Chains A and B, each alone.
Chain A
């Protein structure tokens, strides 16, 4: 498995390099080669998933490869990859969505195709790396590396405002992630100074830091808070949390279809993934301190994203704002900080990748037919393209969270988690009057967000696909509008299968991620749920934790 994982990660990189010789042969060869590479990557990923322990036990040990990368007296950075319950499904979805991305670009990309597919494959390489990296520096390298291919994808093949969108996307993300970088370094260096063990390994740091925190020998709360804020700077932009979301609609609207699919499907998840990978397990006290704030901002994001989505006249912008809203759900789930919420939030990351990725692909297909993204220029399109309409309805329903689709499984879990936290299990520190109201408001806002999601999504489908037939009148398109070709159906089928699969049998997915998630929230849960036992455990230690955490 170890070798297989490394091959899977590096295959897209090799594929990207292969685009160079293929470029001379012509566009046809280039895209078939790219498709072949992504398909092989997908098959290898399936083998990995199939071999992953079904109950998620020992998940931290699956397919771990470690090798020295940079070693000096001061550093010991390893090239260390492996899959665990948190990374597994995002890793797998990256491989699936890349096939979709290649297929939807089949006819849309006419200029510089070799460079385009090379950039897509580099992007896949980066994402597979991010979700499997077990070394902090390696994670960061992949994390930042994903910016370069997407920058070119948006800037070269985007629509009219593409230059501005590409630069804005890059700078927003970079500005945040540089602070994240400082935060990550601070964790490593603090740990090295405190314990004398210089390690960049994520599992090792997680284990050691939560152990220290539970022993009452961890970072001081103020230090944790500073580092938390630094880490959050990058992840919040990536998610995007409410006030930092302005780059997202622009980047989505200007990007080529494949870019939007992958940006929405995978890259946004790196933010939530980062929160779960670093903030929550490594900085438990700061997590508890900031949870009400983050929940509040996420709730604002849910409602704001939904309201703005309602007001959009551009289909792609509508889906982009719906992403802001949906990622708010993921954040609410994660920061409910109980088992159900975190599981729901993580599952919802995967779900959002599938359904929003598919929605962007569908809108790209509509755009190829009508050369417009204006909602009011279209109507009753279901008569022309019934299959497209069918898929649209399916993914819209999955995005809303209809029972039986994947969205339901995720949203239901995370909402239960949030309600449990707010109404039944509110820890003492948050049970003051205002805090209680905040938690209630957040859970009700999230519920309300689901309703609004149904509203804008169904309204979109109704306006475009049903009612009297209306098509753009400009002369641009003379040819008869055809329904989906086999290629386009093939791009959507894997996603549709996943929608139903996760909807009907979420246990398959949850079982594999559960142990890892429980582990990563362990320290926080200990702090939250049983302060009494914690005190009794620590009563012999000096100084007492109560003074420390203040």
Chain B
């Protein structure tokens, strides 16, 4: 049941990346050429991205139509739907951008290792994105964490770096254990490790017996939320973030801000909705608490930071809070578009955050990193391109239109207000207006420190020179992020729709009704086709 030929076909991009990563590991010991390995790694991502397109392309138009309606099917341990595919694209793009950032900034001796480890991490995100199986999901999450330990150690030597690595290592292991414990409860409740085979009636029967019967699922929910809360750096699981970000390089800090967040959010979306139908209220209440705490503490602590990486660490904590707004809304009322909002926000956050760190990395050199805010003074005159890119990313993170971040905030707030507007029996709650107001106030607080970065760069006279030796790679990664942020800002249509479809896929799964197995491919195609004829009214 586990491995079918079809499953292998769907895993092609991951397989390509793993093979090439191994090749780079081995090859690097023979030939320490940074440029060559950059090209190999970049080519690998291009091939993987192409393979992803190819999969969808060769599956025929009816498949794409079903995808657009938010439908999917499972193939062995994989769930093939737009949520998975979209995040896999994002992961590949992220890998490519970080490879470019590292192209002239990693030390020559460890360049190959950096690229190969990064590639494994990307594979980890891709596995999490399409995992339909608890075990695969966990393996994927570990495949994000373990390469991260290596990357942290591969960064600069020094006490701060050692402290950062150790801190991250221990806390990450701890959180993985908590998550695993949660997954075991989930298995105990549902009797299966396959998410799409969770039998809702069985849980419902258990829940009919009152709270004492619900307790195991509630424990599972709490443990899963805390385990994954660490990955996305939500308060109160955020303590490691500022120290670790500050202790490491800009490229690594960027990776920490982005990669675990993608993995964590997707895993949250996948897992919480399995338990949602009967635990929805408990789940969204807990999520709201996490969310308000993360936003408020993240933003307020960021106000006083003088180190850019520390500031960005607190900002990433706050953004984890924003993403949870959508999740809470989605849990309370699945049709509110909350999950889609979370996924859109994830996309715009990833781009703006990556752009900022790419620009910071570009401003540094192999030996010295830009760290203190004061080092950025007068950047608007000396490095207009980098300063402009950081400013665009900052305004986007602050959610000022017409940049990408605005559309993320728009859909989050719209999701929360929609839930509030729903009648009570359909999951409406007054708490969501409180949540939206908390989000709005937090966005204003957040603007204060993002503006501070901009004002230091543009309104202050230069004090010291920055090396700006990131090279063409980091520059183009920065420029690409910046252009994407502007593009999503001005023409958000297609991206909002993608998030919408992915969100639908996540919710659809919850009901389980639309789910089909790949046991009979012929029949499956037939079903998809039949459905495709039915949907046009539904698909945009």
Interface residues of chain A, those whose CB is within 8 Å of chain B, are 68-75, 137, 140-141, 144-145, 147-148, 151-152, 155-156, 162-163, 166-167, 170-171, 174-175, 178-179, 181-182, 185-186, 189-190, 193
Contact A193 B447 (CB under 8 A): no
Contact A185 B413 (CB under 8 A): yes
Contact B497 A163 (CB under 8 A): no
A189 to chain B: which residues have CB within 8 Å? 414, 417-418, 421
The distance in angstroms between the C-alpha atoms of A152 and B437, with both chains bound, is: 28
Known: A155-B455, A171-B444. A181 touches B400 (CB 8 A): no
Known: A72-B500, A75-B496, A147-B400. A182 touches B417 (CB 8 A): yes
A68 to chain B: which residues have CB within 8 Å? 493
378-426 of chain B: CB within 8 A of chain A: 380, 395, 398, 400-402, 406-407, 410-411, 413-414, 417-418, 421-422
Q: In whole Å, how far is A20's beta carbon from the nearest beta carbon of chain B?
A: 11
The distance in angstroms between the C-alpha atoms of A316 and B39, with both chains bound, is: 59
The distance in angstroms between the C-alpha atoms of A174 and B401, with both chains bound, is: 11
Choose among B337, B441, B458, B459 the residue that contacts A178 (Cβ–Cβ < 8 A): B441
Contact B500 A166 (CB under 8 A): no
B143 at the interface (CB under 8 A from A): no
Contact A74 B337 (CB under 8 A): yes
The distance in angstroms between the C-alpha atoms of A525 and B458, with both chains bound, is: 50
Contact A141 B402 (CB under 8 A): yes
Chain A interface, DSSP helix/strand/loop, else mixed: helix
A152 to chain B: which residues have CB within 8 Å? 458
B21 at the interface (CB under 8 A from A): no
Q: In whole Å, how far is A118's beta carbon from the nearest beta carbon of chain B?
A: 12
| Nearest residue, chain A, Cβ from B380 | A156
The distance in angstroms between the C-alpha atoms of A185 and B357, with both chains bound, is: 33
Can you give 17 contacting A-B residue pairs, CB < 8 Å? A70-B496, A71-B497, A71-B540, A74-B340, A75-B414, A144-B406, A145-B401, A155-B459, A156-B458, A167-B452, A179-B437, A182-B413, A182-B437, A185-B436, A186-B417, A186-B433, A193-B422
Contact A163 B440 (CB under 8 A): no
Contact A156 B459 (CB under 8 A): yes
Known: A162-B459, A163-B460. A70 touches B401 (CB 8 A): no
The distance in angstroms between the C-alpha atoms of A152 and B400, with both chains bound, is: 14
The distance in angstroms between the C-alpha atoms of A174 and B409, with both chains bound, is: 14
B411 to chain A: which residues have CB within 8 Å? 74-75
Choose among B440, B493, B496, B504 the residue that contacts A181 (Cβ–Cβ < 8 A): B440
Known: A167-B452, A190-B421. A74 touches B402 (CB 8 A): no
| Nearest residue, chain B, Cβ from A175 | B444
B407 to chain A: which residues have CB within 8 Å? 70
The distance in angstroms between the C-alpha atoms of A141 and B405, with both chains bound, is: 12
Contact A73 B401 (CB under 8 A): no
Q: In whole Å, how far is A366's beta carbon from the nearest beta carbon of chain B?
A: 26
B459 to chain A: which residues have CB within 8 Å? 155-156, 162-163, 166
Q: In whole Å, how far is A155's beta carbon from the nearest beta carbon of chain B?
A: 4
B417 to chain A: which residues have CB within 8 Å? 182, 185-186, 189
The size of the chain B interface, using a CB distance under 8 A, is 41
- Centre residue among B337, B407, B421 by max chain A CB count within 10 A: B421
B418 to chain A: which residues have CB within 8 Å? 74, 189, 193
A151 to chain B: which residues have CB within 8 Å? 451, 454
Known: A70-B496, A171-B451, A178-B440. A144 touches B401 (CB 8 A): yes
B166 at the interface (CB under 8 A from A): no
The distance in angstroms between the C-alpha atoms of A75 and B540, with both chains bound, is: 11
The distance in angstroms between the C-alpha atoms of A70 and B454, with both chains bound, is: 29
Chain B interface, DSSP helix/strand/loop, else mixed: helix
The distance in angstroms between the C-alpha atoms of A445 and B210, with both chains bound, is: 66
B436 to chain A: which residues have CB within 8 Å? 182, 185
Q: In whole Å, how far is B313's beta carbon from the nearest beta carbon of chain A?
A: 22
A145 to chain B: which residues have CB within 8 Å? 400-402
Contact A174 B447 (CB under 8 A): yes
The distance in angstroms between the C-alpha atoms of A190 and B455, with both chains bound, is: 39
Choose among B400, B422, B437 the residue that contacts A144 (Cβ–Cβ < 8 A): B400
The distance in angstroms between the C-alpha atoms of A68 and B418, with both chains bound, is: 22
Q: In whole Å, how far is A86's beta carbon from the nearest beta carbon of chain B?
A: 22
B24 at the interface (CB under 8 A from A): no
- Centre residue among B452, B459, B460, B540 by max chain A CB count within 10 A: B459
B440 to chain A: which residues have CB within 8 Å? 178-179, 181-182
B540 to chain A: which residues have CB within 8 Å? 71-73
Contact A171 B448 (CB under 8 A): yes
The distance in angstroms between the C-alpha atoms of A398 and B470, with both chains bound, is: 58
| Nearest residue, chain B, Cβ from A69 | B493
Contact A171 B447 (CB under 8 A): yes
A140 to chain B: which residues have CB within 8 Å? 401
B340 to chain A: which residues have CB within 8 Å? 72, 74
| Nearest residue, chain B, Cβ from A144 | B401
A73 to chain B: which residues have CB within 8 Å? 337, 500, 504, 540
B512 at the interface (CB under 8 A from A): no
A163 to chain B: which residues have CB within 8 Å? 455, 459-460
B482 at the interface (CB under 8 A from A): no
B433 to chain A: which residues have CB within 8 Å? 186
B244 at the interface (CB under 8 A from A): no
The distance in angstroms between the C-alpha atoms of A440 and B294, with both chains bound, is: 50
Contact B455 A74 (CB under 8 A): no
Contact B421 A175 (CB under 8 A): no
B492 at the interface (CB under 8 A from A): yes
B443 at the interface (CB under 8 A from A): yes
B398 to chain A: which residues have CB within 8 Å? 174
B452 to chain A: which residues have CB within 8 Å? 167
Known: A137-B410, A141-B401, A182-B436. A71 touches B441 (CB 8 A): no
The distance in angstroms between the C-alpha atoms of A147 and B400, with both chains bound, is: 9
Known: A71-B540, A145-B401. A178 touches B493 (CB 8 A): no
Contact A185 B444 (CB under 8 A): no
The distance in angstroms between the C-alpha atoms of A156 and B461, with both chains bound, is: 10
B422 to chain A: which residues have CB within 8 Å? 193
B492 to chain A: which residues have CB within 8 Å? 69-70
The distance in angstroms between the C-alpha atoms of A163 and B457, with both chains bound, is: 11
Besides A137-B410, A189-B421, 13 more A-B contacts (Cβ < 8 Å) are: A68-B493, A71-B540, A72-B497, A72-B500, A74-B337, A74-B500, A140-B401, A144-B406, A145-B400, A178-B441, A185-B417, A189-B414, A193-B421
The distance in angstroms between the C-alpha atoms of A352 and B454, with both chains bound, is: 32
Per CB-CB distance, the 7 closest pairs between chain A and chain B, nearest first, are A175-B444, A141-B401, A178-B440, A155-B459, A74-B337, A72-B500, A193-B421
Q: In whole Å, how far is B387's beta carbon from the nearest beta carbon of chain A?
A: 11
- Centre residue among A68, A71, A141, A162 by max chain B CB count within 10 A: A141
Contact A148 B500 (CB under 8 A): no
Contact A166 B497 (CB under 8 A): no
Contact B455 A167 (CB under 8 A): yes
Q: In whole Å, how far is A142's beta carbon from the nearest beta carbon of chain B?
A: 8
The distance in angstroms between the C-alpha atoms of A550 and B276, with both chains bound, is: 39
Q: In whole Å, how far is A178's beta carbon from the nearest beta carbon of chain B?
A: 4
The distance in angstroms between the C-alpha atoms of A152 and B391, with both chains bound, is: 11
